[in-house]
Structure 1
Amino acid sequence: MTESFPVFDGASAPPPPPPLPPAPRPSTPIASAPAPGRATAPSASDGDLARAREIIRIISDSYSTKMVGQERLRTSLLVSLIAGGHILLESVPGLAKTTAASTLADTVKASFKRIQCTPDLLPSDITGSQIYDAATGTFRTVLGPVHANFVLLDEINRSSAKTQSAMLEAMQERQTTIGGEVHPLPRPFLVIATQNPIEQEGTYELPEAQMDRFLLKEIVEYPSPAEEFEILGRIDSGVLDPDRHVPGAVSLDDVHDLQQIASRVYVDPAIRNYIVQLAYVTRNPAPYIGEERARFIKYGASPRASIAFLQASRALALLKGRAHVLPEDVRELRHLVLRHRVLLTFEADAEGIRSEEIIDQIFGAVPTP
């Protein structure tokens, strides 16, 4: 028999929610002392942290020569790069999303391709195709623009579902298949996709399966008046000229080292359990945030959310100069990781309920370790 939970109307104290299920003990304990003779992955050393801090400082300083403000965007891009994931940017036009992507690519001495998505864009326009060479009587493969370290998919929701699906293999498997032949993508590989929330004519809503493959989703906001004043000054000085590039600051090997160091940032079992419990509550919200709010959740987060929290929190801890993850890192990432994974109903949209509000309530219901 299913236990029912009364809806809290504010007149009396709500009943305590049932205890969260403990994370099951893995067959190999995560944090217990290793058995004699068993090799363990080394954690990030002081030398590793010093090297990571220097690489991050160089990237940030070079990035800031063209970008004004947008510190949250810079952090989100760096977290995605270090964690080896992809990022979806949503904002109104004109907030320097393209400039941010190209500047980051210049800073890292990486190849950069921009793909303007339109309804008539074909999958082969992204991945590449085989072209018949009359001189030799054979077909040769021409790789598409997705074969770059940094790929900007501008207004991804303007491309058709068929074209959007062409990116799934590239984003997930880090490869493309052209004429039955597999072509690996360069490393690192970062997809920065943008979508415009206010101009919906001629757009195709991203399917949930593709949204889930983005590590983070960032909402880019307007600059402050002081930042906008600085932008005008930089335009007059020529810093923001399209043909003026940031000199490459770090190599791809440096980025690879940064990713390897991040993979050795320590995550305590208590924090892993915290991540698992958060994902569980998104799927079973009623006992923890009440029936009134739970009815707005259509689907909870998939296990990719837990993986994203694990990877992104390591990257964020490294950005802050630490070799271990704190619960505050997970909490800071809550909107970035969950806003495109906790799907709300049409009723929530009609009542003006934003996913960030529901996410905050879920985090408030799960005890912080």
Structure 2
Amino acid sequence: MSVLKRPADTYSPLYFLASLGAGGLSVTFFMIFFFWVDHPGRSVPIFEDIIAAWAKGFLPQQIAIVAAWIGIAVFAFLNVKYLIWNLRALAEFKKTDAYTSLRNSNAETTLLAGPLAMAMSINAMFVVGMAFVPGLWSVVEYLFPFAMIAFGLTGLWALKIIGDFLGRVLAKGGLFDVTAHNSFAQLLPAFALAMVGVGFAAPAAMSTTPATVTTAMMISTFFAVASLIYTLLAATTAFTSMLHYGTHKEAGPTLMVIVPIVTILSILFMRQGHGLHVTFNVHTDNGEMMMFLARMIAVQIIFLSLGLLVMRRQGYFTDFVLGQKTSAGSYALVCPGVAFTVLMHFFINKGLVAAGAIDKFGVAFWVLSAIAVASQILMIALVFRLNRQHFGKPTAAAAVPAE
């Protein structure tokens, strides 16, 4: 009798996306604190601001605060849990022939899911600290150098994998399978670079030390530019391949990877803008910010529509989300929904409200916020569904390896 295995037992580095998605959801809950809790004199809310809001006794806000605390705690835990599981599984995977084959194929770039998830985990730990740790702001300047070291090591990990891949395929011809380039899977390196960059940009927005702000801005700019260049080149060549060969079905979710890249880079540039304003007295008009965010949301809607259209035509959801088939790449579906939720909150609050286009907590505010919350709830349901499929009790369903 054959022993039944969980789909996750057939390992793929794309399972790092399970950690990534959970970390992203913890950030969506932090948006409640960020935009619905007053934090005067600080660029972000901290534990003391949250407690002060709770003490006001406004019931709807208290309910939102409790929901945010629970959400951050649950998904930060899952983020770390699946990160540790993946690091252990990857160490074992490296001992197999499958790993050697992966390192000599287009799928070598799936290894970038590792530094991508690691960078998200560092960001998630900052969210946990701001939400739960009293007195954090009094020592935050001392934490920034350590955070930048952590992001620096993660960035070097990502650059090492990218260097190995590009060195292999560009040094000699014929080592990259163009027929298997019919998806946006090769944008994963750009995604990882952007995530490291936005982590570096955090001290630029929060620090009051000019040297820290400048260092953070310069290094985050490098990773942002690298991500943009990689996105442009990989997306252009992939789209050409998709037009010729059609979209690879199991890699269908990658069509929407542009959405999280847009959110991450938008936040990176906003963090840099805040640093320029506070430290270097450079000002950005609220109307300009509103239009910048409107353009970024438009890009996201376009790629969300494209991805959902293609996957619906191919029957992806019927097979891999609602059906019996499984693919580690399904976790890539979580990232676009999470990213859209986060950028919608920024568009509403830093764009429309800040520019005076709508009133904060008015009817239009809540209608638009409901869109962001609906996307968040859908992603929560998707994460638990995928976790049951891939990490639940063993079933007879065979895993489909993502390419």
TM-score of the superposed pair, with normalisation by structure 2: 0.27
Q: Choose 1 or 2 for highest CA Rg.
A: 1
TM-score of the superposed pair, with normalisation by structure 1: 0.29
Higher strand share: 1
